[in-house]
């Protein structure tokens, strides 16, 4: 086993070397997944973390949501967002600090684009929940955070390389790191106790054919492609989508509309998160 391989084995075995979610946020996410949980119980737990509470209220009052009146109480925010929306925003708030540093800032923008595109695609097609899809899109590259944190120079070098397709990128990661970002992301998401479908979206967002039963995996797969289309014409995007994406995502989309809305929503989110 190479030094890098040994290093990642140690990182994955030692929880202290992995990014983590604050305890209150972890508890809140677990409660949201509990069908017996109610708004008052969830609000009481979230209120135990003043920083998380303030950030969630900033989020719900941002242009991204565009509510007509100011929301001042966390219980009210939960009502406005719904449980799934609250889940997505908690993940957004607690994951933002993980994307700090030279290597991770670009990754943060891409993750926001993928999150908004995932939500839009899910809403347009109706094949899975938009809020859950937002969360899956936001965290699809979770494994890259580990690579950026622990092997920044090698990670940045690979980020600048050109690859013919996703499989070449993953092969290169395996050569350099002894692991791929989907594998590392799956491990971290499992330790975070994220929902199974979200873990699968992280693991298979480059290979949705390996999880054919999961619509959300396909949504994130398509969104990940659309999040990286800057500089391409509408015709080039359509041709590339039909060639590389449609085989695993046989759903009709208005790609120009999805991309336009993705850019608008992403800019709104960037402005909101810049307040934190």
Residues in the chain: 276
Q: Give just the sign of the alpha carbon dihedral 257, 161, 180, 101.
A: negative
Examine the pLDDT at 11 and tell me if it is beyond 80: no
Which range has the top average pLDDT, 18-32, 38-52, 151-165?
A: 38-52
Query: For residues 242 and 111, what is the distance between their CA atoms, to the nearest angstrom?
Result: 23
Please give the C-alpha separations between residue 230 and each of 104, 197, 218, 234, in angstroms, as whole numbers.
19, 29, 21, 10
Query: For residues 61 and 142, what is the distance between their CA atoms, to the nearest angstrom?
Result: 27
Query: For residues 204 and 206, what is the distance between their CA atoms, to the nearest angstrom?
Result: 5
Q: Give the DSSP letter of residue 17.
A: G
Which pLDDT tens digit goes with each residue over 76-126?
999 999 999 999 999 999 988 888 876 778 899 999 999 999 999 999 999
Enumerate the domain spans of the chain: 3-273
Query: For residues 266 and 274, what is the distance between their CA atoms, to the nearest angstrom?
Result: 12
Torsion on CA atoms 140, 162, 247, 262, rounded to nearest 10: 50
- 131 and 88 Cβ atoms separated by less than 8 Å: yes
Which parts of 61-141 fold into alpha helices (H)?
Answer: 74-95, 102-125, 130-138
CATH number of the domain located at residue range(s) 3-273 in this protein: 1.10.3210.10
> Could you tell me what percent of the chain has a pLDDT over 90?
68
**9 versus 152: which is more confidently predicted?**
152
Examine the pLDDT at 42 and tell me if it is beyond 90: yes
Examine the pLDDT at 127 and tell me if it is beyond 90: yes
Across the range 135-156, mean pLDDT stands at 91
- 8 and 184 Cβ atoms separated by less than 8 Å: yes
pTM of the model: 0.89
In whole numbers, what is the pLDDT of the chain averaged over residues? 90
């Amino acid at each position: 086993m190479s030094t890098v391989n040994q290093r990642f084995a140690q990182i994955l075995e030692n929880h202290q070397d992995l990014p983590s979610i604050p305890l209150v946020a972890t508890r809140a996410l677990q409660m949201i997944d509990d069908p017996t949980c109610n708004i008052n119980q969830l609000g009481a737990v979230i209120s135990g973390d003043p920083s998380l509470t303030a950030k969630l209220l900033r989020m719900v009052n941002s242009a991204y949501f565009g509510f007509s009146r100011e929301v001042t109480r966390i219980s009210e925010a939960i009502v406005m967002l719904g449980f799934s929306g609250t889940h997505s925003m908690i993940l957004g708030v607690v994951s933002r600090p993980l994307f700090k540093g030279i290597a991770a800032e670009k990754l943060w923008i891409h993750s926001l684009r993928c999150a908004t595109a995932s939500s839009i695609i899910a809403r347009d097609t109706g094949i899975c929940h938009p809020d859950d899809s937002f969360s899956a899109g936001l965290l699809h590259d979770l494994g890259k955070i580990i690579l950026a944190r622990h092997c920044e120079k090698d990670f940045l070098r690979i980020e600048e390389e050109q690859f013919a397709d996703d499989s070449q990128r993953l092969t290169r990661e395996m050569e350099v790191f002894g692991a791929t970002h989907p594998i590392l992301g799956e491990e971290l998401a499992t330790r975070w106790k994220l929902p199974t479908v979200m873990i699968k979206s992280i693991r298979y967002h480059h290979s949705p054919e390996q999880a054919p039963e999961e619509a959300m995996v396909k949504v994130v797969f398509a969104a990940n492609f659309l999040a990286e289309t800057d500089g391409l014409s509408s015709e080039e995007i359509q041709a590339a989508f039909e060639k590389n994406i449609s085989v695993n995502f046989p759903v009709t989309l208005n790609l120009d509309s999805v991309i336009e809305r993705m850019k608008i929503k992403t800019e709104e989110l960037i402005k909101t998160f810049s307040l934190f």
